[in-house]
Chain A
Amino acid sequence: MSYKNRSIVYGLYNDETELLSAVKEANKKHLKIMDVFTPFPIHGLDPLLGLEESRLHIGGFIFGSLGTLTAFLGMTWIFTKDWPQIYGGKPHWAVPAFIPITFELTVLFAAIGMVVTYYIINGLGPGVENPYIDPRITDDKFCLAFDIHEVNQAEAEALLNETGAAEVNAKTL
């Protein structure tokens, strides 16, 4: 989700409770919010923005299952067909000995798969340039942004001022 080349009007708030009431106000006036940027997660913001639950964990399950299968089938093939050897008098297909590695590859596949998926979906990663609105949104400012092609700019600015934004600006990312 890249916001490149979009013209926005945005307000910066000093407090998350102000931001929450501003979002409620915008919803009441049916102003379409482009996005909200905050330095930390805010309880109760997701339902107000109508965000659906992330489906990343479904990907995590699929990647994890792939890891399980890779490890278990891989070891089965190696130790029964490819290079069968006897270790400690155990059978070739020594399932208990496979479990720790199966577990580890499950975790590894799930973790790496989810990180890569997350980066691709959000357009992040090395060499990617992402515009930001204001550096202070990673510190102590809470930003509410509208796209001026989606809302009436004057109306949006009025709302931001009414709800107590410390700064109201417009720019093209």
Chain B
Amino acid sequence: MNKVDTMNEYTFTGKSRLVLMIGMGLGLLCLALSFFMDGFDHHPRFWSNLLHNSVFFTGIAFMAVFFISVCITAWAGWYTVFKRVWEAFSQFIIVGLVLMLIIGIGIYADWHHLYHWSDTSLLDPSNTASYDEVLDGKSAFLNPFWYVVIGGLIVAAWVFFAYKLRSLSLDEDVNGGDAEFKHHRKMRFWAAAFLPIAGFSSAAIIWLWVMSVDPHWYSTLFAWYTATSWFVSMLALTILVLVYLKGKGYFANVSAEHFHDLGKFMFAFSIFWTYLWFSQYMLIWYANVGEETIYFKHRIDNYPVMFYGNLIINFLVPFFILMRNDTKRKFGTLVFVSIILIFGHWWDFFLMLKPGILHTAQSTVEGAHHAGFVAGFSLPGLIEIGTMIGFLSLFLFVALTVLSKNTLLAKNDPFLEESLHHHV
């Protein structure tokens, strides 16, 4: 009994802290290097790396609280034994809020030119040489106020729901266990309230943060496709963290059955991602409207490795490896696919953001359009991978710190028994 009790509290050891600190240090070093190492005005390599990783990891944290809400609303019980991991993930949103506010303030303060629409000289109709009608038409939405204030409010709402659901869940451990399941009823209320908010606000956030780097282009599918990318990454990271913690002796109740279900979700949503990716691509390919096709033409012509690699690592790898029953139940294959998918969806976000940002940066330099290989933009370089490791370490540091502050088993959750006996 004693052994079980000590294993119910995660201790964030000095050694794990040190490893993650080194990772964060590497990330800072890479950010500093990228600040000085590019040939454009306003350090687009540094700012795009910051944006890329902030968006990616904030999205993972958002998906954690979103999926908790989905599970609560759907009366799901299978995930209860490890729901503390998702509650810990979800607390990273507050760090994401700070990071995105820095980028947002940068628009006001002219620290960077990540977004073409932030150039107000394009919106002046009296200046016929540079007037941009499309951007003027979208300027009611694509403007610094929406980016910073409304975007900030949306993420603040996510922070609120992440905090609310976690604190109710923790309070249930201490004061719960009553016959009416008062805590669980409250959680159902907040979870159900969050679902429509999450659905609409995440789409708006994705338009602002990601799609607007190509401000002349738009796609109605884009938000779902990007959100699915976040979701698959969140599942992959959950599997990796759970395998690591199980190796340390925690979460002894998490069995192959739970991993099987996580693996099934990862498999299914990788296919869903491909379905959305292809739906977006095929309609644009078929209709061949110039202002839409340019998005893919630019990427196929100038980023062929990124473009085709994206489909191989995010579709073919999980599809063929996770198709079998047993590969979803074995740690080896599951961990292998999870690592590939985290990297793969980070790669996907790279391809969403970098071409548009490079195009904006190049348009400020005369004659630099499509100037061949550009370090840090055409392909992820060592600096980009180092920055990703830094942000991943920051994410894990925050999540594990949060995790170490509470018990790991939600002992008064009404679905705990179901989860302990989960059998697929």
Contacts and interface: CB of A to CB of B under 8 A. Distances in A.
B120 interface: no
B323 A61 contact: yes
Given A43-B423, A89-B288, A96 B282 contact: yes
Interface string B52-76: 0000000000000000000000000
B286 interface: yes
Interface residues of A, number: 12
Given A43-B423, A88-B286, A89-B288, A96 B323 contact: no
B149 to A, nearest CB: 41
A81 B323 CA distance: 35
Interface in B197-218: none
Contacts of A129: none
A99 interface: yes
Interface residues of B, number: 9
A53 interface: yes
Contacts of A96: 278, 281-282, 285-286
A44 B424 CA distance: 11
B364 interface: no
B253 interface: no
A53 B325 contact: yes
Interface string A71-95: 0000000000000000011100000
Contact of B282 (A44, A89, A99): A99
A118 B325 CA distance: 19
A12 B301 CA distance: 70
Contacts of A100: 282
A97 interface: yes
Contacts of B286: 88, 90, 96-97
Contacts of B288: 88-89
Interface residues of B, dominant DSSP: helix
A118 to B, nearest CB: 17
Contacts of A43: 423
A52 to B, nearest CB: 12
A96 B325 CA distance: 30
Interface in A82-122: 88-90, 96-97, 99-100
A69 to B, nearest CB: 16
Contacts of A53: 325
B423 A99 contact: no
A62 to B, nearest CB: 13
A61 B286 CA distance: 30
A99 B323 contact: no
Contacts of B281: 96
Contacts of A44: 423
A25 to B, nearest CB: 22
A100 B278 CA distance: 10
Given A43-B423, A88-B286, A89-B288, A99 B325 contact: no
B330 to A, nearest CB: 14
A57 B281 CA distance: 31
Nearest to B421: A43
Interface in B267-297: 278, 281-282, 285-286, 288
Nearest to A57: B325
A172 to B, nearest CB: 37
The 5 closest A-B pairs by CB, nearest first: A96-B282, A96-B285, A43-B423, A99-B278, A96-B281
19 contacts: A43-B423, A44-B423, A53-B325, A57-B325, A61-B323, A88-B286, A88-B288, A89-B288, A90-B286, A96-B278, A96-B281, A96-B282, A96-B285, A96-B286, A97-B282, A97-B286, A99-B278, A99-B282, A100-B282
Given A43-B423, A96-B286, 13 more contacts: A44-B423, A57-B325, A61-B323, A88-B286, A88-B288, A89-B288, A90-B286, A96-B278, A96-B281, A96-B285, A97-B286, A99-B282, A100-B282
